[in-house]
Amino acid sequence: MNEKQKDFEFKQGYSGEMSYVIDVMKKNGIDFKTHFFEIGNDFSGLSDIFLKSGADIVFCDFYHNLAEGDKIKWIFDELEKLGIPHYLSSSDTMKLMFDKILCQKKLKSSGIGVLPFMSVDVNNINSLDKFLAKHKKVILKPTQGYSSVGIAVFDEVDKAINHSKIFKEEYGDFIAEKFLEGKKEYQILIIGRKPEIYPVEVGIPLGKVYDEGMKEEHFSRDRVKSLDIYNKLIKFSKIINDTIGMLDLARIDVISDSDNNLYPIDVNGIPYLAKINPHSGENASLTQIGKIFGRSYESMIMEILGLY
């Protein structure tokens, strides 16, 4: 295949996020083969392509994890059934992180404190009404996914149920979680199998808090000023990392109450890796957190690849 054809396949096949990763690999002289499987592919030819390519490992295009159709398939399941090695965590771990209800249950059963939560039944308003009456305010988010889209905060049950019904078709079921007032939020980036751990404090501007169109640019990220909190976040993330069994890459979102007790609110197996956020033109989370700790985008990608 000539360079023009390669360039065409590259532009047509890969997301902007994966394009940045491939650029890093090229700049560092990493010899690699690429093949793109679109969402909806049944993966039936994956084994033959992998063997013919002479590749050592599969590096998945990050948001293309499910094959859609009559039977939804999880690409990491298919890779592992075929005995094909891949980056990121195991399929079971990726699916656990993908499902917020299952993940919170796993953390809770392992002795990690989590905020009160429940699965929202849009046809049973009474259950959510009791939950809301007890906790005064709830945050709703899609049960499955790695995105922050669809997250919103409510103190009225009718509005909460209506929100869940509107977004159910697009995002599936919702989880309701107690909303903490006067809290602080943190993100902890974990990369490499060592692992390297980078906690930052997250700021969300007033008026931008958890609306339906929440984007990365709503966040600011800064160093954690308190050494005590910093050390607690490191220890906390190691416990969660070991509990969930994450490898290569993950981001843990954490919230603290007024007494500085820490609670995990999301464990994200595929944090946003694009060098630039295409929605805002600003640096994406991986790059922002890396800059705070003096790490370049390129060095962090190499760390994920195990080549830094």
**Tokens representing residue 302 in the block:** 């190499």
Query: Is it the case that residue 146 has pLDDT exceeding 80?
Result: no
pLDDT in tens, 114-127: 999 999 887 777 88
Least confident of 85-99, 212-226, 246-260: 212-226
Same domain for 18 and 105? no
Same domain for 286 and 234? yes
Mean pLDDT of 171-196: 87
Same domain for 190 and 75? no
* Top-confidence range, 60-64, 143-147, 160-164, 298-302: 298-302
Same domain for 271 and 189? yes
Closest CA to 171 of 138, 209, 210, 145: 145
Same domain for 231 and 104? yes
Domain with 194 in it: what CATH number?
3.30.470.20
Q: Which domain holds residue 52?
A: 3-86
**Tokens representing residue 8 in the block:** 């065409």
In the structure, what pLDDT confidence band is assigned to residue 8 with cuts at 50, 70 and 90?
very low
The DSSP symbol for 216 reads G
pTM over 0.75: yes
Domain with 129 in it: what CATH number?
3.30.1490.20
In the structure, what pLDDT confidence band is assigned to residue 128 with cuts at 50, 70 and 90?
confident
pLDDT in tens, 245-293: 999 899 999 999 989 999 999 998 888 777 877 666 677 888 889 999 9
Same domain for 271 and 158? no
**Number of domains the chain contains:** 3
In the structure, what pLDDT confidence band is assigned to residue 297 with cuts at 50, 70 and 90?
very high
Same domain for 53 and 15? yes
> Alpha helix (H) ranges present in the chain?
3-13, 16-27, 46-53, 75-81, 91-98, 100-109, 125-135, 157-171, 227-244, 285-292, 297-304
